[in-house]
């Protein structure tokens, strides 16, 4: 793998510049999360829908982001009749598994099997081979609107897959642990090699993008939860396949160098960050973010102030006392209300009324 990273001077300088930008934003975003920004939940929701939509559309799904959001909102009552819906739910569940448990998911063969198993969980035609390596040869195929396809490159033969995957996993873990190669370089190299091996009968492209999220999260790039790298790849789909093919045509030779792929990978991440910066600034300009429950509680306070926690609880019977306390604390943090008094004598009024 190291030989594939023999970049020339110009490429190296470009990579250093991009990594510097990404790492700088990484530090900025840690502080955003530490401040428990009110916008994070909404930004994550938007990114999740975009990621599911883009990653599945790259592989031929035709559902829009709006249709996907509707499907997910009706998760418990939806009957998955089409293959598109099956693939969307599989990606959603696998992505949620990573986002919620990445600290405990090490890069191992078993965990990759498990994620592949979840990814194809709802896909009726993939039940026989989900969660295990391919038994038949396959190819990387670009799928385009209208149903046309193009073979991009051939992949590792089934009898070599296990050995090559074990080597790749060991190389990646060693470099991430020892820090000899920057984690973004290690992640980019892993994804290229994973796609070249194409270890499973189906789902390799989607799984590669899920594993990208996992590797970045485990390396501290927590902002990946709020951007859609998948969306950037969808927008640059032709280039995505082109840079993969550019290196893969020299597979297993001295000329197999992944310079163009690495620049593409980092540029896509860079562009995703720029999109997040724009969204974050837009949310900041909107003022405090309030969900419908919070809007209703604030309106109740306005009409009935001064109020106590028990007043809110008696009005919003479906909400727990703990939820209401958190909302009131949030309102205080955002300077929407003032707390007066202590203990049982505490009551709340709107900030504007106090002033």
Instruction: Write the pLDDT tens digit of every residue in 142-164.
Output: 766 666 777 777 899 999 999 99
Secondary-structure breakdown of the chain: helix, strand, coil percentages, each rounded to the nearest 5: 65, 5, 30
Give pTM, 2 decimals: 0.78
Average pLDDT, the chain: 89
Q: How confident is the model at residue 112 (pLDDT cuts 50, 70, 90)?
A: very high
Residue 351: the pLDDT is 75
* Rounded percentage of the chain residues whose pLDDT exceeds 70: 94
Facing residues of 348 across strands?
A: 307, 339
Kindly report the number of other CB atoms within 10 A of residue 266's CB atom.
21
Q: At what angle do helices 83-101 and 40-58 cross, to 10 degrees?
A: 140
R_g of the chain, CA atoms, integer Å: 24
Walk me through the domains of the chain, giving residue ranges and CATH numbers.
2-286 (1.10.3290.10), 292-354 (1.10.10.10)
Residue 76: the pLDDT is 63
Residue 39: the pLDDT is 77
Structure-model confidence comparison of residues 287 and 282, the more confident one: 282
User: How many whole angstroms separate alpha carbon 68 and alpha carbon 87?
Assistant: 11
Residue 96: the pLDDT is 95
Residue 80: the pLDDT is 74
C-beta separation of 223 from 276 below 8 A: yes
Span 166-223, pLDDT tens digits? 999 999 999 999 988 999 999 999 999 999 999 999 999 999 999 999 999 999 999 9
**pLDDT over 90 (residue 109):** yes
Kindly report the number of other CB atoms within 10 A of residue 303's CB atom.
8
The alpha carbon of residue 309 and the mean position of all alpha carbons in its chain are separated, in whole angstroms, by: 38
Residue 38: the pLDDT is 66
Span 324-340, pLDDT tens digits? 989 898 888 878 888 89
Residue 354: the pLDDT is 42
The 3-state DSSP class for residue 155 equals coil
**pLDDT over 50 (residue 46):** yes
Residue 231: the pLDDT is 93
**pLDDT over 50 (residue 353):** no
C-beta separation of 210 from 146 below 8 A: no
Q: How confident is the model at residue 77 (pLDDT cuts 50, 70, 90)?
A: low
C-beta separation of 132 from 117 below 8 A: no
Rounded average pLDDT over 72-95? 82
**pLDDT over 70 (residue 276):** yes
């Amino acid at each position: 793998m190291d030989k594939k990273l023999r970049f020339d001077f110009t490429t190296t300088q470009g990579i250093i510049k991009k990594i510097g930008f990404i790492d700088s934003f990484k530090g900025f975003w840690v502080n955003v999360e530490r401040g428990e920004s009110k916008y994070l939940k909404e930004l994550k929701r938007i990114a999740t829908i975009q990621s599911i939509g883009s990653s599945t559309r790259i592989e031929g799904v035709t559902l829009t982001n709006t249709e996907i959001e509707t499907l997910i909102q009706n998760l418990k009552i939806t009957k998955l009749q089409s293959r598109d819906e099956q693939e969307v739910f599989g990606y959603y569940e696998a992505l949620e598994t990573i986002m919620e448990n990445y600290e405990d998911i090490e890069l191992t063969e078993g965990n990759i099997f498990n994620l592949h198993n979840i990814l194809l969980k709802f896909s009726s035609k993939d039940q026989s081979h989900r969660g295990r390596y391919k038994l038949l040869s396959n190819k990387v195929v670009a799928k385009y609107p209208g149903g046309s396809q193009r073979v991009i490159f051939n992949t590792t033969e089934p009898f070599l897959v296990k050995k090559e995957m074990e080597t790749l996993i060991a190389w990646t873990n060693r470099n991430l642990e020892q820090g000899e190669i920057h984690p973004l370089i290690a992640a980019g190299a892993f994804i290229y090699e994973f796609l070249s091996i194409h270890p499973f009968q189906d789902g390799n492209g989607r799984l590669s993008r899920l594993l990208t999220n996992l590797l970045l999260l485990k390396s501290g790039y927590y902002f990946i939860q709020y951007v859609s790298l998948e969306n950037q790849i969808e927008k640059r789909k032709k280039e995505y396949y082109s840079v993969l093919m550019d290196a893969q045509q020299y597979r297993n030779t001295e000329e197999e160098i992944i310079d163009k792929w690495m620049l593409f990978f980092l540029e896509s991440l860079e562009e995703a960050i720029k999109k997040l910066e724009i969204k974050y600034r837009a949310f900041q300009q909107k003022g405090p973010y309030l969900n419908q429950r919070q809007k209703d509680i604030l309106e109740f306070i306005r009409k009935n102030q001064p109020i106590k926690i028990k007043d809110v609880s008696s009005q919003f019977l479906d909400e727990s006392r703990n939820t209401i306390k958190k909302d009131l604390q949030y309102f205080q943090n955002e300077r929407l209300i003032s707390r007066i008094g202590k203990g049982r004598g505490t009551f709340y009024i709107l900030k504007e009324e106090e002033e």
